[in-house]
Amino acid sequence: MKLSIRSSILVTLLLFTILIVSIVYITIRRTATLKDTNQEVMYSEDIRYQLQQLLLAVLDNETGARGYVITSNESFLEPLYASERTLKSYSSQLEHRIQNPAIKSIFIDSLKPLLSKRIVFSRLMIKTTMLHNSDAARDLVASGVGKRYTDSIRLLGIKINALQNTFLQQKRSNNEQALRQMNVFLFSMLFIIFCLFAVIFRWIVLYFKKQKQTEEELEEKVQKKTKEVLEGEVRFRKMIEQISDGFFTLDINWRFTYINANAAQLFDQSVIGKNIWECFPETSGGEIHTAFQQAMNTQKEVFYEGYSSYFKRWIEISIYPASDGLVIYFRDITEKRLAEIEAQRSREQYKTLIERISDAFIAVDHEFRYTFLNKQAEELIHKPADELIGKTVWEIFPDAVGSDTFRAFEKAMKEQVYVTNTDHYPALDLWQENHIYPSSDGLSVFIRNITKLKKNEIAARNSEEIRRIIMNSSLDAIICVDNSNNIIFWNNQAESLFGWSFDEIKAKPFHETIIPTGYRKFAEKGILHFLHSRNAESLDRIIETTVVNRDGKEFPVEFFALKVLTDNNSFTCAYIRDISKRKELQQQLIRQQKKTASEITATAIDAQEKERNAIGQELHDNINQLLAGTKLLLQMIQKNPEKHTQYLTMCVDAINQVMNENRRIAHEMVTPFLSQETLVDLIYKIANSMLAFVGIDVEVELNNFNEDGLNEKQKLTLYRIAQEQCTNIIKYANASKVIFSLASNEESIRLTIRDDGDGMTTKAAKEGIGLKNIASRLSVYNGTMDIITSPGNGFMLSVELQTEDMYQGV
C-alpha cells in the first residue's frame, strides 16, 4: 500500500513537473511569438512612417515641378531633386521592410511603377519648360496626369497601410488566441493535478488519517503557489500586450531589472541590477529624472516628450507605475521631429517663393476667407494684406458674386478639382487668368494679369475686321481653309468667280468644291501634304491649273497658297485669278508664233539655197575658171616643156589666187573659235577678210564695251549678223566706208553697222532675205533690230542682245 501511495505521489510529481515544463515551454514559445509580434509592430510603425515620408516626397516632387513650370525659377529644382532621392531611398527601405507577400506584391507591381512615372513626368515638365516654353509645360500640368499619379500613389499608400494594419491585427488576434489556448491548457493541467491530488488526498484520508492535516497544509501551499503563478502570468501578459516599442523596468530602488532588444540599443545588458542615476549621472536632476520621480511618487502614468542632450535624440517616453517599481516604454522620434522641422522650413521657403513669383497668389480657407496674399496680389487688388486677412473674397468684391470666377471658386471647393478660368472684372478694368488648386486647407489661387494681352486680342479682332474688308475688296478670289482643309473664308470675288455664296460653301472641304472631279483625290492628297508640312510656308511658285464653277464649267486660273500663322492657330489662304482671257491671247500668240516660225523656216531654207547657189557660183566663176586656165597652161607645158617654161610662173600665181579665194570662202562659212577670240577680234577679221579685200575702208568704235555678259551662242549670233550685213554691203551698197560700233551696259550689248552706200527705202530693206535672216537669229534671244536708211543716204543696222545674266532672269 505504501509503495502504491508513493508511486501515486511520484506520478503526481511527475505530472506536476511535466505541467511546469509545459508551462515554461509554452511561455517561452509565446514570449518568442510576442517578440515576433513586437517586431512586426515596430516594422509596421516604420512602414507607416516611411509611407508618410514617401507621400510627402511625392507632394514635394509635384510642388517643385509645378513651381518651376509656373515660375521658371530654378530654386524649385533642388527640393524636386531632393524629393527624387527621398523617393528612391524610402522605396528601397519599404521594399526591404514589408514582409507580407501580398502587400509586397502591391508595392512592387503598383506603387513603385507609379513613383517612377511621377518622377519621369516631373522631369518631362522640367524638360518641356527648358526646351520649349512654360506654356507647353503648363499644358502638361493642365492635363492632370501628374495629379492622377499623385492621387494613385496616395491611395496605394493608404491601401498598403490598411493592409499592414490588418496583417498586424491578425497577428495580434492569433497571439491572443494562442494565449487563450495556453490558459485553457494551464487550467486543464491544473484541473488534472487537482483531480490527482483529490485521489491522493482520498487515499491519504483512507489510509493515513493521521497525515490529513499535513496533506491539507501541503495542498494549501500548492494552491497558493499556483495562484501566484497565475497572477504572475496575468501581469506578464498585460505587460507584454502593452509593448510596442523598446521598454525597460526599474525596481523601487531605481535598479534595472529588465531591458528589451530596442532598449538594448541605448543600454548595455551590463546595466541590469544597477542604479539608473548612477549609470547615467548626466540625466539626474533633468526633465527625465523629474518625470520618473513623479511617476514613482504619484503612482500615476506620466508621459514625456523632449530632446535628450545625453543621447543626442528626441525621445517619447511613457512611464507606468508597478508594485515593484516602474515600467518604461520609449520611442526614438528623432526622424519624426526632424521631418516636422524640415516641413516647417519647407513651408517657410514655399511662402518666400510665393512672394517672389511674378503672378499674384492668394490662399483662402473653406469659407473663402483670405489666409495669405503675396505682394503681387496686394498690388493687383489695390489693398494691403492686413486689411484682407480674415475677410471673405465676396465681402471685398460683392459685385463678383455670380461671375465666372465665383463659379470657378465654388466648383474647385465643392468638387476638389483643379479649375482654371479667364474673367474680366470691370471695377478694376482687370482681365485675369485664374489657376485654382484645392487643398485640405481651402484653395490656392494663382492670378495672372492678362489685361494687356486681352486688349491686344480685342485690337486684333478689330484688325481682323479691317483685313476681312480688304480681302473682300481684292480683285483676286481668296479662299482660306483650316488645317483640316475645310473652308473658313470666301471673299466676294470668289462668290462671283465660282457662283457659291460663303454660307453655302462654309466648312466644306476645299477639294470637293472647285476642283474638277477627275483631279479631286490627287488634289486632296497634295493639299493635306502642304497643310501639314512644317517647312512649307507657301508654294514656291504660282501654279496654273483648271478649276470648276457651280455650273460645272471648267476654266484656267493662276493659283498661289500661303500659310498664315497667328498666336493661337494657323490657316492657309489660296489666291486665285481667272486667266481665261490671257489663255485665249496666249493661244493666239502661239498660233502667230507657229506661223512666224514657219515663215522663218521657209526663209532660212530659201537663204540656204541661195547661199549654196552663191557658193556654187563663186566656185564656178572664180576658182573653176582659174583652175581651167591653169589646166590649159599646164597642158601646153606638158606638150613642149622647153618652149613653154615661162608659163610655170603663171600657173603658180593662178594656184595662189585659187588658194586665197578658197580661204576667203572658208572664212565666210566656217564657225570661228569663239572660246579663243573676242567679238572685237571677230569684227576685225570680218572687216579684213570681206570688206578690205574689196577695197572698202573699215572703222571700229568701242563705246564702254564689255562682252563678259555674252555666251558663245550670242557671240556667234552677232558674228553671223555682221557677216550677213557685210555680204549685203558688198553686193548691194556700193559703199566706200563702213563703221562698226560696239556698246554695252549692265543689261545688253548693241552692235551698229553704218555704211555710206546707196541706201534704200525702209520697206524694201525689211523685205530683204538677208535682213529676215538677221531677224530670225535675233528672235532666238529676244533681241531687237533697228534700221535707218533712205535712198542715197547710206544704211544703218543696229541690233541689241540682252546679256546672259539678264536673259536668264527673263
Contact 477/577 with Cβ under 8 angstroms? yes
Residues 616 and 758 reside in one and the same domain: no
- Residue 360: enclosing H or E segment and its boundaries? strand 360-364
Check whether residue 542 and residue 649 sit in a common domain: no
Q: Are 465 and 560 in contact (CB under 8 A)?
A: no
- Do residues 506 and 490 lie in contact, with contact meaning Cβ atoms separated by under 8 Å? yes
Separation between Cα atoms, residue 240 and residue 659, nearest integer Å: 141
Instruction: Looking at the structure, tell me whether residues 166 and 208 fall in a common domain.
Output: yes
**Is there a domain that residue 299 lies in?**
no
Q: Which residue has the cell 505682394?
A: 375
Instruction: For residues 131 and 89, state if they share a domain.
Output: yes
37 & 147 share domain? yes
266 DSSP assignment: T
Q: Judging by beta carbons within 10 Å of its beta carbon (0-12, 13-18, 19+), is residue 592 exposed, middle or buried?
A: exposed
Q: Evaluate the CA torsion angle 9, 13, 16, 18 in order and state its sign.
A: negative
Q: Are residues 152 and 210 in the same domain?
A: yes
List strand residue ranges (DSSP E) for 229-359, in order.
246-251, 256-259, 302-308, 313-322, 325-332
CATH number at residue 425: 3.30.450.20
DSSP sequence for 390-430? TSBHHHH-GGGTTSHHHHHHHHHHHH---EEEEEEEGGGTE
Q: Which three cell numbers stand for residue 307?
A: 530632446
Domain boundary among 424, 449, 474: 449
CA distance 556 to 580: 6
282 domain residue, yes or no: no
489 and 503 share a domain? yes
* 14 and 149 inside one domain: yes
> Could you tell me if residue 14 is inside a domain?
yes
Per-residue 3-state assignment (H helix, E strand, C coil) for 652-713: HHHHHHHHHHHHHHHHHHCCCCCCCCCHHHHHHHHHHHHHHHHCCEEEEEEECCCCCCCCHH
d(CA 627, CA 662): 12
Are both 524 and 612 inside the same structural domain? no
Domain containing 607 equals: 579-654
**Positions of the chain with pLDDT under 50:** 1-3, 237, 240-241, 805-810
Count up the domains in the chain and report the number.
Answer: 5
Q: What is the pLDDT of residue 204?
A: 61
Q: What is the pLDDT of residue 808?
A: 41
628 and 738 assigned to the same domain = no
Quick one: 572 and 583 in the same domain?
A: no
Q: Which residues of 360-387 are buried (b: 16+ CB within 10 A; e: fewer)?
A: bbbbbeeebbbebbbebbbebbeeeeee
**Domain end position, chosen among 578, 595, 616:** 578
Q: CB of 169 within 8 A of CB of 67?
A: no
| CA nearest to 550, candidates 485, 497, 490, 508 | 497
In a domain, 248, yes or no: no
Pairing of strands 697-703, 737-744: parallel
Residue 764 belongs to domain with CATH number: 3.30.565.10
Domain boundary among 578, 611, 637: 578
What CA–CA distance (Å, rounded) separates 194 from 492? 118
Contact by Cβ (8 Å): 314, 336: yes
Same-domain check for residues 157 and 212: yes
**294 in any annotated domain:** no
d(CA 579, CA 447): 56
pLDDT reported for residue 63: 82
In a domain, 352, yes or no: no
Length of the chain: 810
Residue 256 included in any domain: no
**Is residue 489 assigned to a domain?**
yes
